[in-house]
């Protein structure tokens, strides 16, 4: 346990570690959280976030969100903005292996009473249509060359090929396709691992969930209505997945490249080899940036095909078209990314490469990049909780400038997967959840045990900390009624 007395308390929910804490720190580290969250945070987070503070070009602070926990290189929940005009680096450890692991939220005009009699049928059918688990493959059969088009075009490729609606593209971060992706910068091994995985959930903490917006959990009714939540007990669908084996291979490939040239070619010394990096403007840095964008686009395409399958299932079971069921997207938001953004630092606008590792972009009203539909209310933020508790829809706020307009991405683990498997039994958990009105299907009972609610932080406290800190604003809390787990 970390000694909370060694931290400088900036506010009720912001805690600072000074540059004197560790040799080489260029900026202080800041961690968001209530006192309870800070006391319970694993010690590795403090070591990792202060390591991040030593990276060349880091600007203002190394940050960790309230759901922070141990990760590869960066803590999960880590945010770092690099000044690319003054030697700033790019680091795969600050993005993650599952590039653009992200969230998508879709509304319906159905109510809980209408869906409840069919929830088992809905979940079972979705379990059949959306492959989950390690090594799962999708129904979209394309060649390796066609896959290269997918990773350059993202969700646009899907819509052009009949897997979605034109309006979907307007409601995604980067409109579902980040510019500058170059398939020439990715390996054949990455292609091999990804070309047959479009439309699949994967494993780990990835899921597809049917949820309900109960009346008492609609905190901002006017905002909620503008985001598509227009009635109590409205049913929505939320899902969480990323770029699968493709993104993992892209990160693996470039980590090896960076380790070879980082010190010998660029003279960069780091405290942890998992923070391998190169200058952003170096040939290696630019090649990885282009390859990483392919990972972003693959993930947007992956979630787009999953949405297509969800619409098919609901249409079949309820005997109405997806349009008639009001199955419109609220938003699709990415987690594991690095993006060039303009931010005001010390009164001046600067071009920064913002790494968000297990953290969500949360742009404020009026900012470039927020869909026109949401310009006056701010970017939607989708926060997944554990499958036993609940999830949230938030919006970005102006005071989010303090964190480069970043917020939490989930509830955050408190228990390793190994410990969770020893602590919980998947079969028992599945039965207990069903008695509480949550029907769950999983490809693995041990995998289900890993995702038990007791292995995660209190999502309500994480969201409260983010709101009190002024980095996002809660709008609706959703309660799960059906879940598919990878």
Tell me what the mean pLDDT of segment 312-328 comes to.
98
Which comes out higher in pLDDT, residue 387 or 404? 404
Q: Please check whether residue 62 is in contact with residue 94, taking contact to mean a CB–CB distance below 8 angstroms.
A: no
- 335 belongs to an annotated ligand binding site: yes
Tokens for 128, please give them.
């059949």
pLDDT reported for residue 79: 98
Q: Is residue 473 over pLDDT 80? A: yes
Percent with pLDDT over 70 in the chain = 99
411 is in an annotated binding site: yes
* More confident: 439 or 444: 439
Average pLDDT of the residues of the chain = 95
Which residue has 């990160």 as its token pair?
251
338: pLDDT strictly greater than 90: yes
pLDDT tens per residue, range 83-136: 999 999 999 999 999 999 999 999 999 999 999 999 999 999 999 999 888 888
Q: What average pLDDT does the segment 251-258 reach?
A: 98
pLDDT at 361 over 60: yes
Q: Is 376 considered catalytic here?
A: no
Q: What is the pTM of this model?
A: 0.96
What local confidence, expressed as pLDDT, does residue 9 receive? 95
Q: What is the pLDDT of residue 1?
A: 45
4 has a pLDDT exceeding 80: no
376 marked among binding-site residues = no
Query: Domain spans of the chain?
Result: 4-86+340-360
Q: What is the pLDDT of residue 269?
A: 95
**What secondary structure, in 3-state letters, does the chain show?**
CCCHHHCEEEECCEEEECHHHCCCCCCCEEEECCHHHHHHCCHHHHHHHHHHCCCCCEEEEEEEEEEEECCCCCCEEEEEEEECCCCCEECHHHCCCCCCCEEEEEEEEEEHHHHHHHHHHHHHHHHHHCCCCCCCCCCCCCCHHHHHHHHHHCHHHHHHCCCCCHHHHHCEHHHHCCCCCCHHHCCHHHHHHHCCCCCCCCCCCCEEEEEEECHHHECCHHHHHHCCCCCCCEEEEEEEECCHHHHHHHHHHHHHHHHHHHHHHHCCCCCCHHHCCEECCCHHHHHHHHHHHHHHHHHHHHHHHHHHHHHHHHHHHHCCCCCCCCCCEEEEEECCEEEEEEEEECCEEEEEEEEEECCEECCCCCCCCCCHHHCCCCCEEEEECCCCCCEEEEECCHHHHHHCCEECCECCECCCHHHHHHHCCHHHHHHHHHHCCCEEEECCHHHHHHCCHHHECCHHHHHHHHHHHCCCEEEEEEEEEEEEEC
CA 266 to chain centre: 31
Per annotation, catalytic residue among 69, 308, 355, 409: 409
pLDDT higher than threshold 60 for residue 2: no
Confidence of residue 3 (pLDDT cuts 50, 70, 90): low
Instruction: Note the pLDDT tens digit of each residue in 35-87.
Output: 999 998 989 999 999 999 999 999 999 999 999 999 999 999 999 999 999 99
Q: What's the pLDDT score for residue 203?
A: 85
Which residues on neighbouring strands pair with residue 237, listed in sequence order? 106, 210
Q: Is 91 annotated as a binding-site member?
A: no
Q: Per the annotation, does 292 bind a ligand?
A: no
Say whether 135 counts as a known binding-site residue: no
Annotated binding residue 343:
no
């Amino acid at each position: 346990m970390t000694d909370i007395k060694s931290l400088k308390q900036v506010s009720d929910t912001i805690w600072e570690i000074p540059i004197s804490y560790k040799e080489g720190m260029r900026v202080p580290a800041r961690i968001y959280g209530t006192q309870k969250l800070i006391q319970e945070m694993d010690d590795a987070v403090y070591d990792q976030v202060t390591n991040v503070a030593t990276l060349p070009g880091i600007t203002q602070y190394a940050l960790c969100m309230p759901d922070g926990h141990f990760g590869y290189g960066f803590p999960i929940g880590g945010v770092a903005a690099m000044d690319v005009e003054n030697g700033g680096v790019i680091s795969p450890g600050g993005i993650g292996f599952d590039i653009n692991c992200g969230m998508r939220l879709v509304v319906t005009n159905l109510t809980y009473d209408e869906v409840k009699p069919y929830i088992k049928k809905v979940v079972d059918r979705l379990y059949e249509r959306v492959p989950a688990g390690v090594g799962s493959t999708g129904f979209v059969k394309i060649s390796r060359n066609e896959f290269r088009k997918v990773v350059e075009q993202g969700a646009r490729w899907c819509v052009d090929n009949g897997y979605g609606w034109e309006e979907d593209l307007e409601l995604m971060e980067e409109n579902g396709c980040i510019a500058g992706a170059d398939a020439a910068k990715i390996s054949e091994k990455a292609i091999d691992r990804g070309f047959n995985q479009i439309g699949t959930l994967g494993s780990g903490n990835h899921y597809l969930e049917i949820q309900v917006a109960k009346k008492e959990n609609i905190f901002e009714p006017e905002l909620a209505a503008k985001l598509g939540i227009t009635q109590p007990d409205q049913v929505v669908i939320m899902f969480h997945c990323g770029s699968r084996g493709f993104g993992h291979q892209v990160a693996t490939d470039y980590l090896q490249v960076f380790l070879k040239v980082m010190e010998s070619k660029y003279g960069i010394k780091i405290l942890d080899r998992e923070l391998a990096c190169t200058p952003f403007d170096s040939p290696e840095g630019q090649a990885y940036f282009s390859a990483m964008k392919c990972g972003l686009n693959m993930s947007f395409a992956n979630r787009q095909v999953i949405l297509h399958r969800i619409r098919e299932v609901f249409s079949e079971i309820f005997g109405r078209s997806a349009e008639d069921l009001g199955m419109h997207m609220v938003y699709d938001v990415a987690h594991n990314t690095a993006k060039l953004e303009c931010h005001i630092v010390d009164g001046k606008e600067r071009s920064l490469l913002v790494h968000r590792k297990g953290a969500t972009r949360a742009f404020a009203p009026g900012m470039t990049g927020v869909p026109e539909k949401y310009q006056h209310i701010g970017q939607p933020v989708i926060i997944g909780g554990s499958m036993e508790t609940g999830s949230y829809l938030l919006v970005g706020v102006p005071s989010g400038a303090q964190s480069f307009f970043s917020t939490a991405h989930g509830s955050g683990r408190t228990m390793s997967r190994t410990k969770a498997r020893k602590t919980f039994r998947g079969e028992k958990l599945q039965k207990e959840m069903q008695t509480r009105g949550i029907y769950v299907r999983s490809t693995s009972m041990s995998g289900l045990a890993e995702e038990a609610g007791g292995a995660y932080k209190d999502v309500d406290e994480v969201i409260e900390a983010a709101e009190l800190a002024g980095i996002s604003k809660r709008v609706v809390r959703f309660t799960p009624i059906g879940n598919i787990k990878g």
